[in-house]
Amino acid sequence: MEQIRVGVIGLGAIGERLIQGFNANKYTTVQAVVDTDKERASKMAEKLGGINWYNHHMKMLAEEELDLVYVAVPPKYHHAVTMDVIEKGVHVLCEKPLANSVEEAKEMFEKAEQAGIIHAMNFPLNYSSPANTFDQMIKEGYIGQLRKLELSMNFPNWPRLWQQNDWVAGREQGGFVLEVGVHFIQLTQRIFGSITHINSRLELPKDTTKCETGVIASLALANRTPFLINGMSQIAGTERIAYTAYGTEGSLSLIDWGTLKGGKLGEEIHSIENEKEDTSTLIDNLVAAIAGKESHLYTFKDGYEAQIILEKLRDK
């Protein structure tokens, strides 16, 4: 199989993380990078062996022969940049959330489908052994009949100390509901099906440019099972994210992205070993899809469906 030539647009913390994944895969090579910060782009290009770098994505798209483009710019720019990639007929991987509005997400999904390209979202929980074990145990009936879902998010600092930048802190395209909540909205839609938004309330600072500091939301699955979301930032304690399914026979939680805990009725809650050791990564599945082989990708359709709920939570 020939090398898949990858272009990366956006070199923030998340973009750099996936670059490592591309270069660790024997079938993918990062050929060019783009960032509006010229110094950041040139340093990354040098770090990657002196590859080409650009400070505008259109110049890269015009000059490079690419098979796949990874869009890792802030959400406000996902639509414009991704639509340019689609127009070139190049396969595309987009960071979450898909867009900055439902309308943008819908257009991106429809145009990618019409172009006949591979389109995928970076929803890493789908390639996580703990999350997939959670899914498997739910389907095998570990908790019995689902009674309630609950997502709790606590952040002593938002933005998190490793992700300090203006857009993550801003109301327009940042906040923990968008940055973190979207992962669990998509995971819920994957495991339990469609979601309906009932009502939500955001705690917002007086500075109208700053993102939420709290959220309380009531949602429901198609069968009316309640799904509750509760989150706060700028609080005492340590960061904790807990996604819990309560059932007629027990409960099961995915804690802090990678720890499974659960118990049957009458038992103490205890740690659960992963039953499903996944070795397939997002990049492995992109490679398979581009080669025309069986793959498990979460596409712009999944991103669009998550965006619908996300924007209702954010009151947009």
Reported as a single tens digit per residue, the pLDDT across 218-239 is: 999 999 999 999 999 999 999 9
Please report the pLDDT score of residue 277 as a whole number. 64
Exposure string for 90-118, b = 16+ CB within 10 A, e = fewer:
bbbbbbbbbbbbbebbbbbbebbeebebb
Q: What are the structural domains, with CATH classification, of the chain?
A: 4-122+281-296 (3.40.50.720), 129-277 (3.30.360.10)
Helix (H) or strand (E) holding 309: helix 300-313
Q: What is the pLDDT of residues 4-58, one digit of tens each?
A: 999 999 998 888 889 999 999 999 999 999 999 999 999 999 999 999 999 999 9
Q: What is the pLDDT of residues 156-179, one digit of tens each?
A: 999 999 988 999 999 999 999 999
Task: Give the ranges where 178-270 is alpha helix by DSSP (H).
Answer: 182-192
What's the Cα-to-Cα distance from 105 to each of 37, 78, 80, 97, 119, rounded to whole Å? Answer: 26, 9, 11, 9, 13
Measured at the alpha carbon of residue 161, what is the angle toward residues 157 and 162, in degrees to the nearest 5?
A: 140
The answer to whether the CB of 178 falls within 8 A of the CB of 97 is yes
pTM of the model: 0.96
The answer to whether the CB of 76 falls within 8 A of the CB of 172 is yes
